[in-house]
Structure 1
Amino acid sequence: MRRFSGLVKYQIQQYFSTSRFAMPFAVLMILLYSIYSSRPVGVVDSLMVSCVFLFLLMVWIGVTACDMEHEVSEQILILRVQSAWKYYSSHACFLFLIGMISSAIAVLFPVIMDLCSRGQLFERPLKTADLLYGFPLMSVSAFLGGALGEISHPGLNRNRKTAILFTFLLAVTAVTKAAILKNVPVLAVLLWVVPPISDVTAMFAEESCFSVNKCSTAFIILLISGMIWTAVKIMGLKKKGF
């Protein structure tokens, strides 16, 4: 357990020791400001839009995090901990923590904006329950995005341009999936493998408040999907012996 936490700590230090976090952080703040710059804003709608933004943002971070270490460095660390599964799992945990940090920012931002507007930002008063439901949903949305971003790992596809293009194509398809299926329902046969971020946000369409049942279902769907994509990446790398 100590080795695992040490790996996570090492990867966090590696990430924040570079300037890789600066651009995603700036983009996140711009996106949040774009959501809450006008009023009144729907509570559920705005938090679910934040989930989508965090999903896409973490796809970006997942892609760039794949380039953080050279092949030799990864091999040395894997040999040191004597477990490829442990190393790659620690990387997924690192991305999950980055997603939680981003989600915390996305939750605090509207709270601060609402306080600055003296409670006039939202269509109805913002409740603690909204944040308690919103934060976990944002966190697992971010986790799913990071897991998808790691599919572009060089060990799975040496051609970086192709890998990145394929990954972002999947991400865009995931976000627009509901609209695509509405116009072309037959594509459901193919698009069931796409991350269900669009399916989850559609669950909350027209909702003015969060409910335990829907939030629990959405949380489980996103978490399982993120775990599946993480497992696909890890098994793919272990099979290739990277």
Structure 2
Amino acid sequence: MLISVLKYNFKMYMKSHKYIMPFFIFIIYMVMAYSIRLLDIVGSMVSSAAFLFALMTWIGFTYCSNIELIAEEVLILKLKSHTRYWVSKIIFMGVVGVFFSILSVGLPIIYNLICNVFKYPVTFSDIVVSFIIHMFLSIIGALIGMLLQPRIISNRKMAILGAIFIVLMSIIKGPVINEVPYSKYVMWIFPPINEVSTAYLDLMHFNIANLIMPLIIMIIYIFIESFILIKRMKKVLF
């Protein structure tokens, strides 16, 4: 049943054409980011993951807009659970995030084989860790977008400003904490992009050991976001 629902979500998403603009922006970013030679692989991949986080926030935001209520009711009846329905949507956004993560990591690696984009040889750990970081940050971004959907925040201008604010604060969290140390007691609420970049600060390559703590934080963050989304949507219903 889950596979059927995912296929339905994919079909409806493709029919909506909401993916066109984000994909176009993604291609532009990739061309601009990797048009320069001899890049630092850690810095470029962390920047790429931060960009994908922002892009998936946009995708999650638009994905939950203009949902057909009748089709949603039918799916919920078939699944016999609001929880299963929203879990299927979260999984679908996860699949979209995995797709963009593969492109975000794979395209530069392939291009590097042709043109030597990076300063140092790319290791297996670089590929694996980069993909994991992209994937988890993309899911976190998508969930933020889903939490700002019309049935939760009806004022769309406020929702858009909220999305921009969250993305911006997530990206600049590190510099803000450095300038105002006490802000760390508030800034922890924003997605852990800074935790990822700090873990590999001044390193030439990614490694699994440094990923453990940021990965735990990202998993907890995803769990909390999913829990809040499902609880909220079960409350507002239609």
CA distance in 2, matches of 1:163, 1:172: 14
Rounded Cα–Cα distance in structure 1 between residues aligned with 2:177 and 2:122: 33
Moved more, 64-73 or 14-23: 64-73
Q: Does residue 1:126 correspond to 2:122, yes or no?
A: yes
Q: Distance in 2 between matches of 1:7 and 1:164?
A: 28
TM-score, length-scaled by structure 2: 0.94
Identity, % of aligned pairs?
28
User: Does the CA contact (< 8 Å) of 2:199 and 2:211 recur in 1?
Assistant: no
CA deviation after TM superposition for structure 1 residue 36, in Å: 1.2
Cα offset, 1:32, TM superposition: 1.6
Residue equivalent to 2:211: 215
Give the secondary structure class of the aligned counterpart of 2:17.
coil
Match of 1:44 in 2: 42
Paired residues for 1:1-242 under 5 Å: 3-117=1-115, 120-242=116-238
- Two-structure CA RMSD over aligned residues (Å): 1.5
Secondary structure of the 1:17 match is helix
2:149 & 2:46 partners in 1: Cα distance? 28
Aligned residues: 238
Q: Which amino acid aligns with 2:112?
A: D
Conserved? CA contact 2:41–2:118, under 8 Å: yes
Code of the aligned partner of 2:161: L
- Given the two structures, how large is their TM-score scaled by the length of structure 1? 0.92
**One-letter amino acid matched to 1:78:** I
Native 8 Å contact 1:143 1:223 kept in 2: no
Name the SS of the counterpart of 1:193 in structure 2: coil
User: SS at 1:179's partner residue?
Assistant: helix
Runs of 4+ in 1 over 3 A off after TM superposition: none
Unaligned runs of 5+ in 2: none
Distance 1:184 1:70 in 2: 45
Q: Distance in 2 between matches of 1:173 and 1:14?
A: 32
Question: Is this contact kept in 2: 1:144–1:223, CA < 8 A?
Answer: no
Q: Relative to 1, partners in 2 of residues 1:212 and 1:128: Cα closer, same or farther, differing over 3 Å?
A: closer
Deviations 1:153-178, CA, capped at 9 Å, x for gaps: 22212222212221221121111111
